[in-house]
Structure formats: C-alpha cells, structure tokens
Amino acid sequence: MILQVAMIQILLSKCGVVTKMVWGKAGSTTLSSAGDTMTVSDMSANNSYVYLFHAPANASYNTIINFDNDSGTKYAERKSANGGADSTAVSQTDFNTGDGTDSDGFHFGYIVDVSGEETLIIDWWNRANTAGAGNAPYRGENVGKFTETTQFTRIDFDNSSGGSGFATDSNLTALGSDITPAAAIPALGANVQVGSRYEETDTRKMYNLQGADTASLAVVDFSSGYTLPAKFSATGSNGYTFTENASSIDQVMYKDLTTDVVGTKYVMRFPFTLTSFTGHTTGANNHKQEIGLGASYGTGEDPTHDFVGLRYTANQSTSKIDFQILARDGSTKNYSAAYSLAYSSVSTPTTWYIEIIRNENDYTLNVYSDSAYSTSLGTATVTQTGITGLRYFNHNLYTQSTNGVSNGSSAGYDIYNNITSVNTSNTWQEIGT
C-alpha cells in the first residue's frame, strides 16, 4: 500500500497535479500511560478539521481545548449540558468543554481555521456516567472561538482537574479537509544490519542498532518435564489445557526451570484462553487460578512460597472475573486487579494475552486483547519486597464451591530475562557522543 501511494504521488507530481485526500488524518496521538495532556502537533494548515477524542477515565477529568499551546485570554465559549440552558464564558485561557465527571468520555467536533480570521469550533461530547446500562450518559453541545488569526498547527486536549485523568489508550485525532497523502518512511533500523553503529552528524551522538528482543525461554511443549495433575493435559507441542469445573480442586502444574531462568528484571508473556465458562455464585467460597513463577510449587488456597504471576478469580460477590497481579513473599501477598469483566459479558472462547513484568520490587500485570500485545485492556502494578528464588513454573487451580466453570488452555509462555519491556523491532540505542 505504501509503495502504491508513493507511485501515485510521483505520477501525479510529474503531471503537475496535487491529489487532496478528503478528511484524511492530520494527526493523532494515543496515550501509552495515564496522563492529563494530549497533543497533536506539526499539522499542516487546513481550513477545516474534524476532531475525535476518546478518553477512558483513569480518574475524574474535565476536558479543555487549546490551540498552539496558547494560554492567553483568547477564548470564549457557549455551552449546554444535558439539554439545559446555555451558559457563556468570555476572556478565557482555554476552551472549557464543561464535561467534567469521573467516567469515560467521547468528543467530536468541527473547526474552521481561516487565515486572518478567528478560529471557530463546534463541539459535542458524551460522558458515560457510572458504568452499566442503568445509568444514562451525559451529553454536551458547545461552541467556542479562539481569537488568534494565524492558522494553528497544534491542538491540545487537556485535563483541567489534574490527577492523570486520561487513561492509557486515550486517543486524540484530527482529520483535515485537505490532506495531501504521503508514504511513510520506515525507521533506518529496518534496513540496517543489527550491531551497526550510527554516527549522527547534526547531534554528534552515536547509536548501536539493537535487534528485536527474543525470548530467553520459549515454551510450547508441556509433554515432558512438567508435572501435570489430573486437571491439566498437555496438547502435544502446542500448550496445555486446564479444567476448573468441580468443587475442591487443589492442584498445581509445575516444572523446575532452574535458578537461572529469571533475575530481578524480566517479562513473562502467555495467552490465557477460556473455552468454557460459568460464573460461580456460592458465597464465601473461592474459585481461582494462579499462573507464573514461584520459589516452589505448593498447593492450597494461599500457598506460602514466593510467587509472582497472574491471579485469575471468579468473584461471586461482584459477578465478575478478575485478572490480578499477585506478588507474594511467603505468606505476605499483594495483589491488584488490572482487568475485570462481568460474568454476563464473558463469551467463549476468548483469549486474553497476559504480560507480567518484574522490575526489582515492582510487579506489573498488563492484559491485552491481541497477540501482538498492543491493545491494552488494563494494567495494575504492586510493590512487594523480599521475593526471591523464582525458578518453578506454576499453574495452580483452587476451588471451593460446587458451581462455576473456567475451563481453558494456554499455548505456552515466553520469558524475557533482564529486561522490563519487549521490543518487537530493531531499535537504535544511544552509546555516547
């Protein structure tokens, strides 16, 4: 596709024709961690823009818009929330959309930005309100203006409340009415041998090309060396299945990976698939699984060996499944939910992609919906000291109540030792000046 675009451009430019692409992407940004600022910059001037802004809430936030990072008193606005009477504000330092609440939000709008004229904005928003269909969303309709008459090249959506209100994966996109398409130019690393040195003439810096990370241990064959009790079964050379379908299960599948398998920094990744699910509903009982690395391979509701991994539970009190990071130092356990899903929303089969990161005493669980580990469903981090001796792969099954089913499979796991993030492509690492 990129080549096609480039060829089309060349041909058209030879003919003296410039092709405009209607409502093409003028810029876009997506948060990789929670924040309060979203910026699209370096835009070429357009007379008209559409913007799209979707920000799941990490905390309560109120969205304000500004252009070219200009916080002078150059803004005026008119707004209505939930169909109520309009209110106005003049001589403002930003365009305050007035959408403040603690729930996910979505804006779209139109901007006209004619050189020599004030910039005009029409904005709509929808804030989700408390989760669930029992709570109607809030809506807003606004207009605003920015009195600077030079065409802007940057737009910011910020949270005026602070506190990292915009969650990971929040996105701001601007579409322009008159976009000239251009082919992407890949980073140099895609075409250069790993280990090459780059001498940057304008910054006087030097870089070394690091290859994409490869797993220090990649396991798909569980047919030898793994202890598999009755509720586990190796599936040839392609992972294993687990059966959590009865009361009073207390089993662990394990293997000694030896002391060299991980240090105090590592990343562990594996798919977790549910092929059959019924939420358990018996009060004061637990259904849970723990998958990760332990200093031993004990059983019981809460084994007492050091352990770091995924804690998957079916929670009868909330009627949700929870994906939690569990970091356990002996009998001291520390856990936090990265992602939860209502029983009623669990469809089978569904695969979640689990990433566990140890960075010294910080332990993070990332849950993704895709095998590229790029679409995040949620994240959580806990801090726990004293965890040592991780060498055994563990998958514990533990049930008390008589109802509930969480049968599934895993296609294996990858461990990347001595790193805390996985690079999937070659990258230049600065080595000096």
Partner 1 sequence: MALTYQAGRRVQGTAADRAAVDGVSGGWKEVGRTTLGSTTTTINVASIPDKRYYMVLVDANMAGSTNSAFQLNGDTGSNYTNRKSYEGGADATDTSFTVGRIQGHGGPVPDFNVMYMSNLAAKEKLIINHGVNQNTAGAGTAPRRAEIATKWANTSAAINRFTAVDYLNSGSGYATGAEVVVLGYDPDDTHTDNFWEQLADVTLSSTGDNLSSGTITAKKYLWIQTYISDTGGQDSVNMTFNNDTGNNYAFRRNNNGGTDATTTSTSHITLNSSEVTEDLFSNVFIINNSSNEKLVIGHTIQNQTLGAGTAPIRKEFVGKWSNTSSQITEIDFDNDSSGSYDTNSFIKVWGSN
Under rule CB under 8 A, which residues in 63-122 are in contact with partner 1? 73-78, 80, 82-86, 88-92, 104-106, 108, 110, 112, 114-118, 120-122
Q: Output 135 or 332, the one with its CB closest to partner 1.
A: 135
- Nearest residue to 130 via CA among 110, 107, 104, 109: 104
C-alpha–C-alpha distance, residues 106 and 320, integer Å: 26
Q: Is 380 in the site for partner 1 (CB under 8 A)?
A: no
Q: Is 353 in the site for partner 1 (CB under 8 A)?
A: no
Q: Output 136 or 212, the one with its CB closest to partner 1.
A: 136
C-alpha–C-alpha distance, residues 206 and 191, integer Å: 18
Q: State which of positions 229-258 bind partner 1 (CB under 8 A).
A: none
Q: Output 118 or 362, the one with its CB closest to partner 1.
A: 118
The one among 3, 201, 432, 433 contacting partner 1 by CB under 8 A: 201
The one among 13, 30, 41, 319 contacting partner 1 by CB under 8 A: 30
- Nearest residue to 293 via CA among 406, 409, 388, 220: 388
Q: Is 11 in the site for partner 1 (CB under 8 A)?
A: no
Q: Is 48 in the site for partner 1 (CB under 8 A)?
A: yes
Q: With contacts defined by CB under 8 A, how many residues of the chain interact with partner 1?
A: 112
CB of 336 to partner 1, least distance (A): 17
Full DSSP string of 336-398: EEEEEEEGGG--SSEEEEEEEEEETTEEEEEEESSTTS-SEEEEEEEE--------EEEEEEE
Q: Is 25 in the site for partner 1 (CB under 8 A)?
A: yes
Q: Is 373 in the site for partner 1 (CB under 8 A)?
A: no
Q: Output 118 or 256, the one with its CB closest to partner 1.
A: 118
Q: Output 182 or 218, the one with its CB closest to partner 1.
A: 182
Question: Would you say 114 and 75 are in contact if contact means Cβ atoms under 8 Å apart?
Answer: no
Q: Output 189 or 292, the one with its CB closest to partner 1.
A: 189
Q: Is 136 in the site for partner 1 (CB under 8 A)?
A: yes
Q: Is 166 in the site for partner 1 (CB under 8 A)?
A: no
Q: Is 12 in the site for partner 1 (CB under 8 A)?
A: no
Pairing state between β 392-399 and 250-256: antiparallel
Residue 207 tokens, joined: 């870089």
The one among 64, 143, 274, 415 contacting partner 1 by CB under 8 A: 143
The one among 7, 10, 18, 131 contacting partner 1 by CB under 8 A: 131
The one among 171, 216, 286, 315 contacting partner 1 by CB under 8 A: 171
Q: What are the CA-CA distances from residue 243 to residues 73, 87, 208, 280 (Å)?
A: 63, 59, 48, 14
The residues near 116 (Cβ < 8 Å, ≥ 6 apart) are 149
CB of 71 to partner 1, least distance (A): 12
Q: State which of positions 282-301 bind partner 1 (CB under 8 A).
A: none
C-alpha–C-alpha distance, residues 414 and 433, integer Å: 35
Give the N- to C-terminal CA distance of the chain in Å, as an integer: 38
Q: Is 17 in the site for partner 1 (CB under 8 A)?
A: no
Helical spans, DSSP H, in 235-280: none
Q: State which of positions 178-197 bind partner 1 (CB under 8 A).
A: 179-189, 192-193, 195-197
C-alpha–C-alpha distance, residues 211 and 367, integer Å: 25
Q: Residue 409 in 3-state DSSP?
A: strand
Q: Is 377 in the site for partner 1 (CB under 8 A)?
A: yes
Q: Is the CA virtual torsion 180, 186, 191, 195 positive or negative?
A: positive
C-alpha–C-alpha distance, residues 151 and 44, integer Å: 9
CB of 231 to partner 1, least distance (A): 26
Q: Is 372 in the site for partner 1 (CB under 8 A)?
A: no
Q: Output 131 or 218, the one with its CB closest to partner 1.
A: 131
The one among 346, 380, 411, 419 contacting partner 1 by CB under 8 A: 346
Q: What are the CA-CA distances from residue 305 to residues 293, 299, 408 (Å)?
A: 10, 10, 25
The one among 139, 265, 305, 333 contacting partner 1 by CB under 8 A: 139
Question: Would you say 256 and 226 are in contact if contact means Cβ atoms under 8 Å apart?
Answer: no
CA angle 335, 339, 345 (to 5 degrees): 135
Q: Is 54 in the site for partner 1 (CB under 8 A)?
A: yes
C-alpha–C-alpha distance, residues 365 and 421, integer Å: 12
CB of 350 to partner 1, least distance (A): 7
Q: Is 336 in the site for partner 1 (CB under 8 A)?
A: no
The one among 17, 202, 283, 284 contacting partner 1 by CB under 8 A: 202
